[in-house]
């Protein structure tokens, strides 16, 4: 598997600028862009295999390290962590990646061509919530959402499990082997990974301190400050024109034009 290009940009927060890192795969001139965003305490390298596969199929894929995670900066003012900042960073990333629109003939527009790139969003857990919020904004460039391990409602039981799973995430480890052992237990829900995949996960999930010990590559305060959770569907909270519940919820104004619903145990899909 090839390695991604590594890049970063400066984004503005309430207390100044910070660097946001991302990995990039595929042809820079590809007209179909896929943005991947990870979960609460994870990082962009979780998407390496998916991104490499999509790039081989002709897509341009960009995977962002949400601020406080991966290679992105940790915020000095911990109260700045939260969805307002994450949405601002996501908007800055989309602006950086989106070229100026090009002219498309009337015939090509009638055939479905657009003047800009097609942008799809793949989000795991927190990354899915960020994607829903970005997609709900007026004139959003997001065409389709793929949501993993998240839904419009966050049950309290799930939040409690997430809190319990974060215990020990500020601990230091003597070696990458210890990091891997910790992740094999903490991330067991990732499924039956190969030994090589667990190793890669450990390598990209840790930072080496000056004293030679390792810590996980995210700010342990990033999940504790600035985030306000609600039992209300996110489509309602964001006043989205697209309902994202398992059935159209009362707070949504309408489903998207031409949309239809399908569902199965534990999941639901809005087809646009």
pLDDT-based confidence at residue 67 (cuts at 50, 70, 90): very high
Q: The sheet that has 16-25: what strands, in order across it?
A: 5-13, 16-25, 60-64, 32-37, 118-124, 142-148
Would the pLDDT of 269 be above 60? Answer: no
Dist CA 11 CA 17 (whole Å): 5
- Residue with the bigger pLDDT between 245 and 130: it is 130
**What pLDDT does residue 227 have?**
52
Q: Considering only CA atoms, which of 24, 39, 40, 46 is closest in space to residue 201?
A: 46
Rounded CA separation 68/227 (Å): 13
Asked whether the predicted pLDDT for residue 71 surpasses 90, the reply is: yes
Mean pLDDT for all residues in the chain: 81
Q: Mean pLDDT across the stretch 72-101?
A: 93
Residue-wise pLDDT for 153-167, tens only, equals 767 666 666 665 555
pLDDT digits (tens, 9 = 90+) for 35-56: 999 999 999 999 999 999 999 9
Cα–Cα distance for residue pair 122/268, rounded to 1 Å: 16
The model's pLDDT over 190-208, given as tens digits with 9 standing for 90+, comes to 889 999 999 999 999 999 9
- pLDDT (tens digit, 9 = 90+) per residue, 110-155? 665 555 678 999 999 999 999 999 999 998 999 999 999 887 776 7
257 pLDDT band, cuts 50/70/90, is very low
Cα angle 34, 41, 61; round to 5: 15
Q: Superfamily for 5-169+218-271? A: Alpha/Beta hydrolase fold, catalytic domain (3.40.50.1820)
Order of all β-strands in the sheet with 206-208: 172-173, 214-216, 206-208
Q: How far apart are CA 175 and CA 41, in angstroms?
A: 20
The mean per-residue pLDDT over the stretch 222-237 comes to 54
Compare 216 and 101 and report the one with higher pLDDT.
216
- Who contacts 127 (Cβ-Cβ below 8 Å, separation ≥6)? 36, 37, 38, 39, 66
Write down the pTM of the prediction: 0.80
Which of the four pLDDT bands, split at 50, 70 and 90, describes residue 109? low
């Amino acid at each position: 598997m090839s390695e991604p290009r590594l890049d970063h940009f400066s984004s503005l927060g309430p207390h100044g600028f910070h660097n946001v890192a991302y990995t990039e795969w595929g042809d820079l001139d590809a007209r179909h862009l896929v943005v991947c965003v990870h979960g609460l305490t994870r990082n962009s390298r979780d998407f390496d295999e998916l991104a490499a596969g999509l790039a081989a199929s002709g897509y341009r894929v960009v995977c962002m390290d949400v601020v406080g995670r991966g290679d992105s900066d940790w915020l000095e003012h911990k109260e700045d962590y939260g969805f307002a900042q994450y949405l601002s960073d996501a908007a800055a990333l989309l602006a950086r990646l989106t070229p100026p629109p090009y002219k498309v003939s009337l015939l090509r527009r009638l055939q479905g061509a657009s003047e800009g790139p097609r942008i799809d969003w793949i989000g795991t857990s927190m990354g899915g919530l960020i994607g829903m919020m970005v997609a709900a904004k007026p004139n959003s460039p997001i065409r389709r959402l793929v949501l993993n391990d998240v839904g419009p409602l966050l049950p309290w039981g799930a939040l409690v499990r997430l809190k319990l799973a974060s215990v020990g995430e500020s601990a230091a480890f003597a070696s990458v082997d210890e990091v891997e052992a910790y992740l094999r237990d903490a991330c067991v829900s990732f499924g039956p990974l190969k030994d090589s995949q667990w190793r890669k996960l450990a390598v990209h999930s840790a930072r080496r301190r000056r004293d030679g010990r390792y810590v996980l590559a995210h700010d342990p305060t990033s999940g504790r400050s600035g985030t306000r959770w609600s039992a209300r569907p996110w489509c309602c909270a964001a006043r989205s024109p697209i309902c994202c519940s398992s059935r159209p919820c009362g707070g949504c104004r309408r489903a998207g034009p031409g949309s239809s619903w399908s569902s199965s145990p534990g999941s639901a899909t809005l087809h646009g």
